[in-house]
A and B are shown apart, each in its own frame.
Chain A
Amino acid sequence: MDWTEKYRPRHIRDLVGNIGVLQTMVSWAQSWSPKDRPLILYGKPGTGKTSAAHALAGDMGWDIIELNASDQRTKAALEKIAGSSALTAPLSGAEHKLIVLDEVDNLHGTADRGGAKALLDIIKKTQQPMILIANILQDVPAELRSRCEPLQFRSIQARSLIPRLRFICAAEHLQCSDTLLEEVSTRAEGDVRAAITMLQAAAIGKKVLTPQDLSSSSKDERSTIFDLIGAVFRGRSHEELVRQAQATGETPERIVQWLEGSVGLLPDYQRVAQAYRSLRRADLYLGRTIRRQYYLLWRYAQAIAVIGMAEAAQKQGIHARISPPTRWQRIGSARRQRAIRGDLLHRLSSRYHIPERVLREEYLTLFSLLVEHAPEHYVLELDLDADALNLFLHDRERSVMIVKKVKEEGAAREKMATSRAPRKDTSPGGTQSTLF
């Protein structure tokens, strides 16, 4: 039996780490009414999001329905499964049914056509508690995000993880030293599932575990790329460097990026220039490889990059920390910006019946001016969140404040409306309340 399933926490109190977030979930569940917004749990893999949702349902005595990326999530499929259960009470006599939508950052373009829209409809109509789960919050369609309460799950610290591992060892009658457990939890990098998998892989067929048992079963972390860069700077033999580059299991593209990231460790500009002479050639081969789909060319990129870089480093070794290429962070944030902008254009386009291309080319300046003058109006009209508003205002703090204020006003208005007409369908969000 897979230990990650066998030891999946059954109760909220069994979960490791993220105590504050778990408390929020519990109080959300205890006071839940159909007016409450769904939760969206996000964070890195193996931090307990799915487990928390299941454990919560268990603790509350609720039924649970789960849909994840392994199910097809077209509009029709979603409505059939989640739609009907969202409206009806459970048959089993449980008080509620928790609807869990896992991996909502992975709605697939064609195979899940219409899925985001259908999810949105379900969220609007649901009479049952819902939890959405994602790794990256920004990859969740914005109109879904804006109707949910986000809760971040953070990586689990080694010191919280070790007791859990020790418990599992005891339950499996496995002898295991503390140093070994420390090693496991460090290598897992905050990922509980990776830690448990590692432990199980090493433990099968053994009663006593020693650190050597871990060797070939670790999470495939980046330590080897550090070894490679270290070897490049120490000036190991060329064939050794090429061999080691292959052994990292990284694509040449990533190796070149890591090497470029370490250019800053070179002592002077002459060396930097020398390094770039090789890296730019390597980069050219990467481009050719992809464009021509001729993967033999990869090896030239790799060899030129590692040998060229070793030449530039002149066996001086490394006297600073090696860190992941900063470019990756920039790519991440640029992608986020693009997603926000794309989403905004889409909304403007459907609201004002103007093609996105025309909007981008001719109307953006106008809209910027309009929004600048009456931000509250447009937040309401387009259902903007702070990220989207900030694209116009370029003032993060002000954007957050305006969106918050508009939301509070909307909530107050809704409260008044419902108290006057209690049977009216409560649909959250500003657009509807102004339109109807």
Chain B
Amino acid sequence: MEADHTIWIEKYRPLRLADIVGQDEIVQRLQSYVKEGSMPHLLFTGSAGVGKTTAAIALARGFFGDSWHMNFRELNASDERGIDVVRNQIKQFARISPLEGASFKILFLDEADALTPDAQAALRRTMENYAHTCRFILSCNYSSKIIDPIQSRCAIYRFAPLSPQAVKEELHRIAKREGLRVSPEAQEAIVYVAQGDMRRAINALQGAAILSPTIEENMIYAITSTARPDEVEALLICATGGDFEGAEALLECLLSERGIAPTELLNQCYRALVHRKMEGALKVAFIDAIGETDYRLSEGANSDIQMKALLARFVLHTRQE
């Protein structure tokens, strides 16, 4: 058997719309486009790893079959974001007639919100003038960064972050194909680190699978350098209970023994805090303290000092209340 060096997010990228998990309503609508052989321009919005690119490619496969490559072009707007891309590359592709007897071709513009407003303005008439030969699928994180005239030319689809169910469903599919055994706790752990991002989930799974075909909870936290949620909780309980020494010891353990990056720990503390049941004003103060620490670390401050100072602030805030 050839050793598996391919990256799983490519290997297991769904080829057909029907295989996309967790975006049922969107998938259903896109399937009806394929059935009808026609579609309007589309705008996909949503955070990373929720299926925007996968949906665009699956749509192209649905329309054009195996020769989809001939009539599909992917451009990443954050690589080439100026007005010249629109006037040259995009127009060039759009104006050539579809090949292999297809009735139109598809241009997929990833991260379209990175296009400057000028470039977006140049795009709008291109979208109309070549509508008979070319459909556009734009994808972006924030739809409010796309100018109104373009929004009004597109049918807009919002991809929500994936639910735990959807992530697990995909894990099952891959685990079965790869002959893996993933314990229920490990599944929960993957859902936790993924935060609704399928790419992150699959990467965690592949990382763990390289170590062993039987995957346990701790392997997931280790491979992703993430603290366990209960460890984060313990840290917060110590700090909010006014026990600075206890919190400091836990912090020491997580950072130096477990090798968790300070910014990752901040991220986890932030997530835990948002979900935590506590008084609102105090919560805002805590989140602010985390943000401040994150900012200082990004400025190159010493992480040991800043992280301990953060705990000290937690303790202080709690005592003041």
Contact = CB atoms under 8 A, between A and B. Distances in A.
Interface of A: 1-5, 44-46, 68-72, 102-103, 106, 108, 111, 135, 188, 191, 193-194, 197-198, 200-201, 204-206, 215-220, 238-239, 242, 246-247, 249-251, 254, 278, 281, 285, 288, 292, 294, 296-297, 299-301, 303-304, 307-308, 310-311
B280 A310 contact: yes
A120 B149 CA distance: 26
8 contacts: A1-B132, A70-B122, A238-B275, A281-B284, A292-B298, A292-B299, A294-B295, A301-B291
Contact of B83 (A68, A111, A216, A303): A111
Given A1-B38, A205-B35, A308-B284, A69 B122 contact: yes
Contacts of B129: 70
In the complex, which of the residues A216, A219, A254 has the most CB atoms of chain B within 10 Å of its own CB atom?
A: A216
B36 A303 contact: no
A205 B131 CA distance: 19
Contacts, number: 175
A364 to B, nearest CB: 31
A45 B148 CA distance: 7
Contact of A72 (B38, B87, B156, B288): B87
Contacts of A304: 284, 287-288, 291
A135 B38 contact: no
Among A135, A238, A311, the most chain B Cβ lie within 10 Å of the Cβ of: A238
Given A5-B132, A220-B45, A106 B40 contact: no
B192 interface: no
B244 interface: no
B122 to A, nearest CB: 4
A270 to B, nearest CB: 13
B118 A307 contact: no
Given A294-B298, A311-B280, A217 B29 contact: yes
Interface stretch (B137-145, B203-211, B313-321): B137-145
Contact of A201 (B143, B155, B280, B281): B155
Contact of B118 (A68, A106, A135, A278): A106
Contacts of B161: 246
A219 B156 contact: yes
Contact of A238 (B38, B39, B154, B283): B283
B300 to A, nearest CB: 11
Interface of B: 25-26, 29, 32-33, 35-36, 38-41, 43, 45, 47, 82-84, 86-87, 91, 118, 121-126, 128-129, 131-132, 142-145, 148-149, 151-158, 160-161, 263, 267, 270, 274-275, 280-281, 283-284, 287-288, 290-291, 294-295, 298-299
Contacts of B152: 45-46, 188, 191, 193-194, 197, 219
B105 to A, nearest CB: 14
B38 A197 contact: no
B275 A103 contact: no
A283 B158 CA distance: 27
A213 to B, nearest CB: 8
B142 A217 contact: no
A303 B287 contact: yes
B39 A204 contact: yes
A204 B33 contact: yes
B118 to A, nearest CB: 5
B45 A2 contact: no
Choose among A46, A106, A247 the residue with the greatest number of B CB atoms under 10 Å from its CB. Answer: A106
B284 A216 contact: no
Contacts of A45: 148-149, 152
Contacts of A204: 29, 32-33, 36, 38-40
A220 B33 contact: no
A188 B291 CA distance: 39
Given A70-B122, A135-B149, A217-B156, A296 B294 contact: yes
B250 to A, nearest CB: 23
Contact of B142 (A251, A294, A299): A251
Contacts of B281: 308, 311
B161 to A, nearest CB: 8
A200 B32 CA distance: 12
Contacts of A135: 149
Given A2-B131, A285-B295, A303-B274, A215 B149 contact: no
A311 to B, nearest CB: 4
A3 B126 CA distance: 16
B254 to A, nearest CB: 19
Contacts of A220: 43, 45, 143-144, 151, 156, 158
A297 B32 CA distance: 40
Given A204-B40, A296-B294, A308-B281, 7 more contacts: A45-B149, A45-B152, A70-B126, A220-B43, A239-B274, A251-B144, A304-B291
Contacts of A72: 87
B80 to A, nearest CB: 14
B290 A246 contact: no
A238 B274 CA distance: 6
B91 A70 contact: yes
Contacts of A288: 295
B87 to A, nearest CB: 6
A250 B125 CA distance: 25
Contacts of B280: 238, 307-308, 310-311
A36 B151 CA distance: 36
A296 B295 CA distance: 9
A179 B299 CA distance: 56
